[in-house]
């Protein structure tokens, strides 16, 4: 088990928490038990002491020692281990029980201390081999202190009982700490087992098996949330890797043909000396292929940009669409296509002006490209429910039902499409719309024309 691992730390915290709580409980139990036992003893000896005080006040402290001793024997001879001592106001012993005798130096010194104390008190002290609990009280007669009374009783039984209690509680406490530590380890192991499984699963996932997923336990806790989050991350990574592989494959395929054509034409031109017209033709064809390569690379860069978090700025979308309307009219001249517009002024969005122009231009280019001669293209811009809506509609050939689900796939071109193109126009327009927190919608039917609509969030006032 790793010393810095979560399992070890949880085990330690379980053990520490129980140790502290157990210590407080056992200490409180010991103190309450000790207090209860001492309270019972104090109650007993104080009761006897008050009786002694009554006798002393009745007979006086100046009586003969024998009479005083006899009074103690008569009153308290039946109480085993009881020590009773009476002293005058100088601390000299004038009467005591037979258990210790008047000449006991320890008792004598203690009585002098008691007389000086001059108040009722309880305390414990060892006398000889026994530990005693003492009660002392001054003798006050006619408002004057005439001595003091001391009553004591052995508490060896209490002390031994408390010692046995401490020993028993120590054994129980250590046993419970060990059991709690073991239980804490098992609980920590069970709690961290799903994380361990996720970790082991992650270590086995590579670029070759991104379709692997961790098992989601339906526990409703953070572990389930972690597993679902990780699986979501793997879904995104898998999708990103697939797009990357597709992009690399499609780019290689798209670049391979113009590069091969360009290389072949140049190699053929260099096989022998040719006339200037032939070189011009070769260079013209090479320029076409070079431009195709340039357009493909530009498209790839636009797609790459759409995947980044670019800094957006305030853009006058009305101005952008108006400019593109003029471009559309020029593109439509060759096919005598009518371009109509309905562009509202003062519509602003957050974005990149050149990228938004590229997205709308791609839609316009597609509309003109797939519209027959003397056809019609409509360009519109309006506000609708917090969005700027750019609409490009045509009455061209439209998109077949089989091709419609694939129009946003990169490099996809319909099987019966006769016009030239890279198949990146709509994917780029969609990617740019998504990068601006918007969306692109295309409605079309075979022979019924196509309508492409871009929705972009308006700038909030």
Quote the Cα angle for 118-123-128, to 5°.
Answer: 110
Per-residue pLDDT tens digits for 36-49: 999 988 998 888 88
Q: Residue 61 pLDDT > 50, yes or no?
A: no
Q: What is the pLDDT of residue 243?
A: 67
Region 395-409: what's the mean pLDDT? Answer: 82
Q: Residue 59 pLDDT > 70, yes or no?
A: no
Q: Residue 393 pLDDT > 90, yes or no?
A: yes
* Per-residue confidence band for 102, with pLDDT thresholds at 50, 70 and 90: very low
Q: Residue 156 pLDDT > 70, yes or no?
A: yes
Q: What is the pLDDT of residue 177?
A: 87
Q: What is the pLDDT of residue 417?
A: 56
Region 408-421: what's the mean pLDDT? Answer: 61
When mean pLDDT is compared over 196-205, 217-226, 260-269, the highest value belongs to: 260-269
Region 271-288: what's the mean pLDDT? Answer: 80
The H or E element that residue 390 is part of is: strand 387-394
Percent of the chain at pLDDT exceeding 90: 18
Q: Residue 67 pLDDT > 50, yes or no?
A: no
443 and 450 Cβ atoms separated by less than 8 Å: yes
List phi, psi (to 5°) of 82.
-75, 135
For residues 383 and 423, which has the higher predicted lDDT (pLDDT)? 383
Instruction: State the first-to-last Cα distance of the chain, in angstroms, to the nearest integer.
Output: 59
Count of helices and strands (H, E) across the chain: 9, 12
Q: Which phi-psi region, left, alpha or beta, contains residue 154 (left: φ > 0; alpha: ψ -120 to 50)?
A: beta
* Per-residue confidence band for 401, with pLDDT thresholds at 50, 70 and 90: confident
The H or E element that residue 388 is part of is: strand 387-394
Per-residue pLDDT tens digits for 106-139: 777 888 888 887 788 898 888 777 788 889 888 8
Q: What is the pLDDT of residue 411?
A: 63
Q: What is the pLDDT of residue 171?
A: 92
Domains annotated on the chain, with CATH: 6-161 (3.30.450.20), 234-303 (1.10.287.130), 311-457 (3.30.565.10)
| Cβ atoms < 10 Å from Cβ of 86 | 28
Q: What is the pLDDT of residue 421?
A: 56
Q: Residue 377 pLDDT > 80, yes or no?
A: yes
Q: Residue 355 pLDDT > 70, yes or no?
A: yes
Region 76-97: what's the mean pLDDT? Answer: 73
Indicate the burial class of 82 (C-beta count within 10 angstroms; 0-12, 13-18, 19 or more): buried
Q: How many residues does the chain have?
A: 461
pTM of the model: 0.47
Region 287-316: what's the mean pLDDT? Answer: 72
Q: What is the pLDDT of residue 101?
A: 45
Q: Residue 66 pLDDT > 50, yes or no?
A: no
Region 96-113: what's the mean pLDDT? Answer: 66
Lowest average pLDDT, out of 293-297, 369-373, 449-453, goes to 293-297
The mean pLDDT value of the chain amounts to 79
* Per-residue confidence band for 272, with pLDDT thresholds at 50, 70 and 90: confident
């Amino acid at each position: 088990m790793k010393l810095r691992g979560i399992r070890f730390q949880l085990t330690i915290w379980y053990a520490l928490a129980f140790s502290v709580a157990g210590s407080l409980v056992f200490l409180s139990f010991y103190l309450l038990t000790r207090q209860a036992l001492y309270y019972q003893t104090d109650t007993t000896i104080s009761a006897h002491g008050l009786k002694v005080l009554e006798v002393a006040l009745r007979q006086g402290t100046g009586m003969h020692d024998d009479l005083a001793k006899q009074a103690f024997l008569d009153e308290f001879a039946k109480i085993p281990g009881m020590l009773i001592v009476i002293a005058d106001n100088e601390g000299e012993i004038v009467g005591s029980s037979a258990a210790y005798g008047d000449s006991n130096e320890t008792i004598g010194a203690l009585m002098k201390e008691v007389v000086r104390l001059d108040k009722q008190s309880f305390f414990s002290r060892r006398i000889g081999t026994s530990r005693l609990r003492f009660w002392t009280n001054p003798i006050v007669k006619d408002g004057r202190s005439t001595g003091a009374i001391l009553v004591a009783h052995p508490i060896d039984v209490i002390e031994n009982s408390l010692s046995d209690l401490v020993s028993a509680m120590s054994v129980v406490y250590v046993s419970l700490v060990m059991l709690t530590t073991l239980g804490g380890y098992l609980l920590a192991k069970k709690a961290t087992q799903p994380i361990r499984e996720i970790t082991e699963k992650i270590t086995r996932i590579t670029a070759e098996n991104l379709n692997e997923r961790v098992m989601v336990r339906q526990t409703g806790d953070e572990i389930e949330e972690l597993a679902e989050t990780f699986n979501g991350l793997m879904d995104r990574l898998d999708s990103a890797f697939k797009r990357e592989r597709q992009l690399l494959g499609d780019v290689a395929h798209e670049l391979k043909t113009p590069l091969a054509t360009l290389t072949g034409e140049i190699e053929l031109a260099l096989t022998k000396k040719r006339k200037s017209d032939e070189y011009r033709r070769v260079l013209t064809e090479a320029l076409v292929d070079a431009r195709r390569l340039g357009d493909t690379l530009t498209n790839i860069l636009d797609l790459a940009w759409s995947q980044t978090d670019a800094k957006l700025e305030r853009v006058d979308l009305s101005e952008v669409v108006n400019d593109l309307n003029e471009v559309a009219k020029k593109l439509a001249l060759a096919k005598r296509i009518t371009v109509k517009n309905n562009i509202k002024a003062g519509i602003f969005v957050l974005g990149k002006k050149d990228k938004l122009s590229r997205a709308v231009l791609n839609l316009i280019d597609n509309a003109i490209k797939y519209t027959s001669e003397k056809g019609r293209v409509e360009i519109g811009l309006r506000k609708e429910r917090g969005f700027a809506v750019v609409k490009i509609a045509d009455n061209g050939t439209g998109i077949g039902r089989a091709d419609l689900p694939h129009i946003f796939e990169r490099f996809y071109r319909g099987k019966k499409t006769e016009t030239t193109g890279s198949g990146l126009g709509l994917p780029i327009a969609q990617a740019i719309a998504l990068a601006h927190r918007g969306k692109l919608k295309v409605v079309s039917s075979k022979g019924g024309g196509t309508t492409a609509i871009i929705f972009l969030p308006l700038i909030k006032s």
